[in-house]
Structure 1
Amino acid sequence: MAARNTLRRALLYVPGSSQRFLDKSRSLKADCVAYDLEDSVTPHKKAEARSLVRRALDQPAPDGIKERAVRINSVESGLALGDLTEVLQSPSLTTLVIPKVNSASDLTFVTDVITHTISALPPEQQRENRPPISLLALVESARSITNLTQICSASPLLQGLIFAAEDFALDLSITRTPSLTEFLFARSAIATAARAAELPSTIDLVCTAYKSSDGSPPAVLEEECRGGKRLGFNGKQCIHPSQVETVQRIFSPESEEVEWAVRVVIADEKAAAAGRGAWTLDGKMIDVPVAEKAKAIVRRADACGINIEEIRERWKGQEPE
């Protein structure tokens, strides 16, 4: 399959029933904008929202948005088939966010609908350059946590997991606290399962605060981002455009981290050419796992738009110690 966009530092939800918000979203800069047909759309607006989202997808992709996704209604709601039938008509659709994925069968259903719907389209709409569809699964219940292994292997289209904290809290009858310790097990399980299944995206819970008294992003947003990053998440859901800049900054490699990684990569290349295995840098041993971590940081930094070549030029003289 064609290479997929795996940089989803921020996933911003946009209500699919609001033409104003859909239009406004085109001026944003974000890794992923998800047109929402689920929670932000009232029942009597569902059909209208499908049409609005379909038209939004058919417009040329905005320069500042790397990926446009659609969050459909859950399979158990009975509305998913109608959502899929509409939005799959757009040749620009690349990503579907699937809510309330409780078991592998939810993703199997969506995958089957995608296959049958696209195969039934006119030949010109099945052209080879139509982008492959990626699935992102929302984990929202105790049942989904216990079924993570099966969910992660349910569909070849699955590209990531998203943690829905509010629905999870409702299911377990727990209360969200500022420390988020009540979600530690679930978040760790999601990040670990995604890594084990080699899914590129692990997207953390929503920060419900989006504005301070002075209008700036609240400190809790940055704290939550750093906490999620430490647990292994590489992105975060956003409910307001003001959250996006902070989220994408924190889920990008930090400058000191990138400098270190580039130095390691350059020195490792020289060590390999000299037939050396382990070596040291700044008095610390560098072996294969550390070198691979550095390479991963450099790849992510490059995807985030950081000028790696400039840093490499600056450290081209770095030698393995």
Structure 2
Amino acid sequence: MFTAAQVVRRAQLYVPGSSMRFLEKSRSLPSIDSIAYDLEDSVTPSKKPEGRSNILSILNRDRVPGIREQAVRINSVGSGFALDDLTEVLKGKHLDCLVVPKVDSASDLHFVTDVLRQKLPERHAANSKNPVKIVALVESARSVMNLHEICAASPYLSGLTFAAEDFALDLSITRTPDLHEFMYARSAIVTAARAFNIPSALDLVSTTFRGEEGKQFLQKESENGKRFGFNGKQCIHPDQVEIVQNVYSPSEQEVEWAVRVVLCDQKADAQGRGAWTLDGKMIDVPVVGKAKAIVARAEVCGIDVKGLQEKHKDEEPQ
């Protein structure tokens, strides 16, 4: 499995593979963790061959500095299109990740894993440091019930994503702004991701984002997801990316607190102290673990951790 320090997907933006204009435009984004070039919902069956060709062209170009990860959302294994998708896009020089929709059971990921090993054996050898990673979309009641086997299905699995609209359709429920109807599924996904050390847990798409009111809604929905345990969110428009990535980045206050905890814990450990206080609050092993995770995420997000470490180097545990 991959560690959180190796991959961060605060935002994953879907871009239709059938539109060369949108694909070109996506390469000009100033900064985004992950772009998923889409061959599934946004591409009609008659346009799938064109979409594959377009995406392969993009993947074979030189990387641009603003995009951390280039992913492709293939069609579901049961659709009849998945093997053709994989055969084409796995020729891409700069493919980092596959987004696999409608993963209902382990067999879906077994299929993708087998194709990866057959088509790109050098990237998927036992000691490979750069395999094509997999993000699985959880879209149905069956998928939620099978999360244990799905999470254990492939060594390349590095993300779980909640597809709310398809899940709502499967259960015949209506999405509401407070998202209470999705509480069980969302909790199950973030819990499974943590239990199996899967770095990314991506929350549902926000369909409201235009105008000031839409931006505020997106901000609140993203904050809701972060409180729930998600560490990233799907996006369907470039205008969503900045807000989402800001929310899912550690805040200044969080990082400063975490740096202080980690520095003081090193000193407390040298003194043989298992528990100590900071700002009048007890600090013990679980709190230190949380602080270390925040520091690691902050480093990957480009936050000046070293500057904060220098600022607080003389602080002592209380």
Cα distance in 2 between the residues matched to 1:199 and 1:130 = 16
Which residue matches 1:249? 246
The secondary structure found in structure 2 opposite 1:12 is strand
TM superposition shift of 1:217? 5.3
Deviations 1:166-196 (A, max 9, x none): 0000000000001100001000000001110
Which residue matches 1:318? 315
- Of residues 86, 90, 93, the one that matches 1:91 is 93
TM superposition shift of 1:130? 8.7
Which residue matches 1:27? 28
Which residue matches 1:296? 293
Deviations 1:246-273 (A, max 9, x none): 0000000111111111111111111111
CA distance 1:146–1:2, shift in 2 (3 Å): closer
What letter is aligned with 1:99?
P
TM superposition shift of 1:2? 8.9
* Unpaired runs of at least 5, structure 1: none
Cα distance in 1 between the residues matched to 2:129 and 2:310 = 38
TM superposition shift of 1:5? 4.2
Cα distance in 1 between the residues matched to 2:202 and 2:2 = 22
TM superposition shift of 1:274? 1.2
What letter is aligned with 1:289?
P
CA distance 1:158–1:2, shift in 2 (3 Å): closer
- Of residues 75, 78, 94, the one that matches 1:76 is 78
Cα distance in 2 between the residues matched to 1:237 and 1:75 = 21
Cα distance in 1 between the residues matched to 2:128 and 2:134 = 18
1:1-321 → structure 2 map (5 Å cutoff)? 5-28=6-29, 29-119=31-121, 131-212=130-211, 218-321=215-318
Is the contact between residue 225 and residue 247 of structure 1 (CA under 8 Å) also seen in structure 2?
yes
Cα distance in 2 between the residues matched to 1:131 and 1:258 = 29
CA distance 1:21–1:130, shift in 2 (3 Å): farther
The secondary structure found in structure 1 opposite 2:209 is coil
Cα distance in 2 between the residues matched to 1:199 and 1:231 = 16
TM superposition shift of 1:51? 0.5
Deviations 1:192-216 (A, max 9, x none): 011101100000000001211x5x8
The structure with higher relative contact order (CA 8 Å, sep 6+) is 2
Deviations 1:6-58 (A, max 9, x none): 11000000000000000000001210000000001111100110000001100
CA distance 1:103–1:129, shift in 2 (3 Å): closer
Is the contact between residue 265 and residue 317 of structure 2 (CA under 8 Å) also seen in structure 1?
yes
Cα distance in 1 between the residues matched to 2:226 and 2:292 = 18
Deviations 1:141-168 (A, max 9, x none): 0000000000000011111100000000
Is the contact between residue 92 and residue 130 of structure 1 (CA under 8 Å) also seen in structure 2?
no
The secondary structure found in structure 1 opposite 2:154 is coil
* Unpaired runs of at least 5, structure 2: none
Cα distance in 2 between the residues matched to 1:130 and 1:61 = 19
Is the contact between residue 2 and residue 198 of structure 2 (CA under 8 Å) also seen in structure 1?
no
Cα distance in 1 between the residues matched to 2:130 and 2:71 = 12
Is the contact between residue 2 and residue 158 of structure 2 (CA under 8 Å) also seen in structure 1?
no
Identical aligned pairs, as a percentage? 61
TM superposition shift of 1:312? 1.2
The secondary structure found in structure 1 opposite 2:36 is strand
Runs of 4+ with >4 A deviation: 1-5
What letter is aligned with 1:67?
E
TM superposition shift of 1:91? 2.6
TM-score (norm 1): 0.94
Cα distance in 2 between the residues matched to 1:184 and 1:168 = 12
Cα distance in 2 between the residues matched to 1:285 and 1:179 = 34
What letter is aligned with 2:81?
L
TM superposition shift of 1:131? 3.2
